[in-house]
Structures are given as structure tokens and as C-alpha cells.
């Protein structure tokens, strides 16, 4: 019976990893391309995406 529990644990971990990777890739794709300019209290910040 513990063999089945270990198999379920591995499958569950793989599912969580795939979901996490999918969320990360989706967020990276949503970032705009180009240059980002921020003006704040700490000054001007220019970041290339």
C-alpha cells in the first residue's frame, strides 16, 4: 500500500510543478516588450525588457 502512496505523491508533485511552470511562463509572456521608464521618489529608472 505504501508503494501506491509514493506513486500518488510523485504524481501530485509533478502536477504542482507543471501548474507552477505554466503560471510562470504565462506571467512572463504578459510582460510588455520594449523599454520601461519609471519616475519615483528614488529618481528615474530605465529598464529594457
- pLDDT reported for residue 20: 97
DSSP readout, 25-42?
HHHHHHSPPSEEEEEETT
**pLDDT in the model for residue 32:** 75
Q: Where are the domains of the chain?
A: 2-48
**Alpha-carbon span 28 to 26, nearest angstrom:** 5
Does the pTM surpass 0.95? The reply is: no
Q: What is the pLDDT of residues 1-34, one digit of tens each?
A: 678 899 999 999 999 999 999 999 999 888 777 8
Q: What is the pLDDT of residue 1?
A: 60
Instruction: Decide which of 10 and 46 is more confident.
Output: 10
Amino acid at each position: 500500500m505504501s508503494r501506491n502512496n509514493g506513486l500518488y505523491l510523485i504524481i501530485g508533485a509533478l502536477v504542482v510543478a507543471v501548474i507552477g511552470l505554466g503560471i510562470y511562463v504565462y506571467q512572463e509572456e504578459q510582460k510588455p516588450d520594449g523599454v520601461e521608464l519609471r519616475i519615483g521618489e528614488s529618481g528615474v529608472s530605465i529598464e529594457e525588457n
